[in-house]
């Protein structure tokens, strides 16, 4: 089912790596980047899902990102997969086969680790009008320091820096405790990865690798988690996703080695 290597002189775009045993029953009735035909490229126990690339570099435009995601969604419904980051173009099909051969054992191991599982995302957003004021009112030590800082009128630059550091430390402790609580309760459902919060308003950011048959259990665990967190934290569940946070692919693209670890 692999295409003629001479038919893609610009390159071969990579979407994912799947078990070769899944190829015979695979239905790839989805268009790839620039409407290209999506096909499997088999090498031993592995198969790369690829399409011909008209360009060696692709911009992360909406249409390109959507096409990449559409292919991954189609694969998720049919087999286990190792998702490749957007924009990876190999020089040729031979290069893709060499990639699979060079990393066969680790890719097979990672496929076994995500077999029958999907990634679910869980974010906790602190819904308060003013984060600093909320923490000052919530934590007496921070409130005392704030009052002392402004007790003499306009504080010095050093005093403001110290207050800012104290706020950052309090925020980090709050985020860590929130994430620890969530991780402790969700570990019974699946493998948990704690990601760094992306803003002051984000109390927690978790990825959970959940068996497909345990998705309802995951939902119940999140519902039971909510009352054990700060009452102002709003939980948001996303997914299912390809297991980006639980895969570590080392691939060569345009002469550089890249690691794939996140969505």
Task: Please choose, from the candidates 263, 250, 256, the residue with its C-alpha nearest in 3D space to the C-alpha of residue 107.
Answer: 250
Using DSSP, state whether 71 is helix, strand or coil: helix
Q: Give the count of alpha carbons within 13 A of 17, CB side only.
A: 31
The residues that bridge with 46 in the sheet, in sequence order, are 19, 43
As a whole number, the mean pLDDT across the chain is: 90
- In order of 12, 19, 126, the CA distances from 202 in angstroms are 38, 37, 6
Report pTM. Answer: 0.84
- Per the DSSP assignment, residues forming a β-bridge with 209 are 119, 191
Structure tokens at 46: 């592995």
Share of the chain residues as helix, strand and coil, in percent rounded to the nearest 5: 45, 25, 30
Percent of the chain with pLDDT over 90: 79
Predicted pLDDT of residue 250: 67
Looking at residues 219-239, what average pLDDT do you find?
96
Instruction: Kindly state the average pLDDT of the residues 81-94.
Output: 93
The b/e string for 146-163 (b: 16+ C-beta within 10 A; e otherwise) is: beeeeeeeebeeeeeeeb
Beta-carbon count within 10 A of 170 CB: 18
pLDDT tens string 211-227: 999 999 999 999 999 99
- Name beta bridge partners: 208: 120, 192
Pairwise CA distance, residues 12 & 95, whole Å = 9
Tell me the helices (H) and strands (E) count for the chain, helix number first: 7, 11
- Give 251's pLDDT tier (boundaries 50, 70, 90): low
**Contact (Cβ atoms closer than 8 angstroms) between residue 115 and residue 80:** yes
What tens digit of pLDDT does each residue of 176-194 get? 999 999 999 999 999 999 9
Six-digit token pair at 223? 């519902």
């Amino acid at each position: 089912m692999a295409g003629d290597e001479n038919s893609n002189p610009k390159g071969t775009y990579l979407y994912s790596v799947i078990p070769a045993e899944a190829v015979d029953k695979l239905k790839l009735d989805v268009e790839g980047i620039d409407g290209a035909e999506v096909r499997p490229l088999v090498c031993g126990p592995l198969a790369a899902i690829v399409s011909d690339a008209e360009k060696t570099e692709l911009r992360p435009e909406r249409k390109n990102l959507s096409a990449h995601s559409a292919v991954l969604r189609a694969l998720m419904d049919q087999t286990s997969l190792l998702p490749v980051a957007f924009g990876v173009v190999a020089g040729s099909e031979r290069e893709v086969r060499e990639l699979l051969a060079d990393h066969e054992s680790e890719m097979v191991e990672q496929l076994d680790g995500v077999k029958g599982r999907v990634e679910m995302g869980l974010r906790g957003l602190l819904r308060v009008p003013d984060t600093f004021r909320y923490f000052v009112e919530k934590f007496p030590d921070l409130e005392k320091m704030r009052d002392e800082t402004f007790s003499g009128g306009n504080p010095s630059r050093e005093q403001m820096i110290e207050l800012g550091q104290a706020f950052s430390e309090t925020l980090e402790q709050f985020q860590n405790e929130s994430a620890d609580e969530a991780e402790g309760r969700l570990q019974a459902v699946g493998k948990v990865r704690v990601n760094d919060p992306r803003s002051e308003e984000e109390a927690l950011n978790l990825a959970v690798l959940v068996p497909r048959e345990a998705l309802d259990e995951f939902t119940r665990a999140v519902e039971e988690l909510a009352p054990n967190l700060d009452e102002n934290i709003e939980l948001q569940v996303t997914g299912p996703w390809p297991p980006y946070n639980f895969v570590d692919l080392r691939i060569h693209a345009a002469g550089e080695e890249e690691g794939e670890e996140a969505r």
